[in-house]
């Protein structure tokens, strides 16, 4: 699994003009899934994401995590995070998991995050044409890959 984590002051995802998910202060998570992903990848990523200390403390240092600031999560599936760009100018998406594999993993990711945070996560709609809006706070943007563990 690959994620792009953006610390936001607000974010939303719309589908056909309707807001499907919206948050205030927290993280917008773009989530890319490959067929090899499992609950182990989910557990590692959710643990890192919820405990990542990238919110400022009283002195302005990045010392607080999502739970410390009662932050929210908006999770949007994004197969393009696994785009292959080595050959030619048209990206290949063959590494991304097919919907029959990716949808259950996306739902498991959300369920695990909700359990860890103790509250619901906002979400997009898997496979939909979505418009994502955000105000990146900082800006702070971090990428992670559960297979590289970095």
Count the Cβ atoms, other than its own, within 10 Å of residue 119: 12
Question: Model's pTM, two decimal places?
Answer: 0.94
Q: Is 79 noted as a catalytic residue in this protein? A: yes
Active-site residue, from 6, 27, 55, 79 = 79
Predicted local confidence at residue 150, as pLDDT: 74
Position 69 scores a pLDDT of 97
Number of CB atoms found within 10 A of residue 85's CB: 9
The reply to whether 46 falls in a domain is yes
- From the list 27, 78, 109, 112, the catalytic residue is 78
Active-site option among 39, 80, 141, 143: 80
Computed over every residue of the chain, the mean pLDDT equals 96
CATH number at residue 71: 3.50.80.10
Read off the tokens for 11.
Answer: 């974010």
Local confidence band at 85 (pLDDT 50, 70, 90 cut-offs): very high
Kindly give, in sequence order, each residue whose CB lies less than 8 Å from that of residue 122, ignoring residues fewer than 6 positions away: 12, 13, 21, 22, 23, 72, 73, 74, 75
The answer to whether residue 85 is domain-embedded is: yes
Tell me the pLDDT tens digit for each residue of 6-38: 999 999 999 999 999 999 999 999 999 999 999
Q: Which domain holds residue 139?
A: 2-145
Q: Are 65 and 51 in contact (CB under 8 A)?
A: yes
Q: Is 78 a catalytic residue?
A: yes
What's residue 21's pLDDT?
97
Q: Is 103 exposed, middle or buried (0-12, 13-18, 19+ CB in 10 A)?
A: middle
Which of 53-57, 75-79, 83-87 has the least mean pLDDT?
83-87
Q: Is residue 29 part of a domain?
A: yes
* Alpha carbon distance 89, 63 (integer Å): 41
* Residue keyed to tokens 């974010």: 11
Q: How many domains does the chain have?
A: 1
Does residue 112 carry a catalytic annotation?
no
**What are the tokens at 52?**
């990542």
């Amino acid at each position: 699994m690959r994620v792009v984590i953006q610390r936001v002051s607000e974010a939303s995802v719309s589908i056909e003009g309707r807001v499907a998910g919206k948050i205030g202060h927290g993280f917008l998570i773009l989530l890319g899934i490959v067929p090899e992903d499992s609950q182990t990848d989910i557990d590692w990523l959710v643990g890192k994401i919820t405990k990542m200390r990238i919110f400022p403390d009283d002195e302005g240092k990045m010392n607080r995590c999502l739970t410390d600031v009662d932050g929210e999560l908006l999770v949007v599936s994004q197969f393009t995070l696994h785009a292959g760009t080595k050959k030619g100018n048209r990206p290949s998406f063959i590494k991304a998991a097919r919907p029959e594999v990716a949808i259950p993993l996306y739902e498991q990711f959300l369920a695990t995050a909700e359990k860890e945070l103790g509250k619901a996560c906002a979400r997009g709609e898997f496979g939909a044409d979505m418009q994502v809006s955000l105000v990146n706070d900082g800006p702070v943007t971090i990428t992670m890959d559960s297979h590289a563990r970095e």
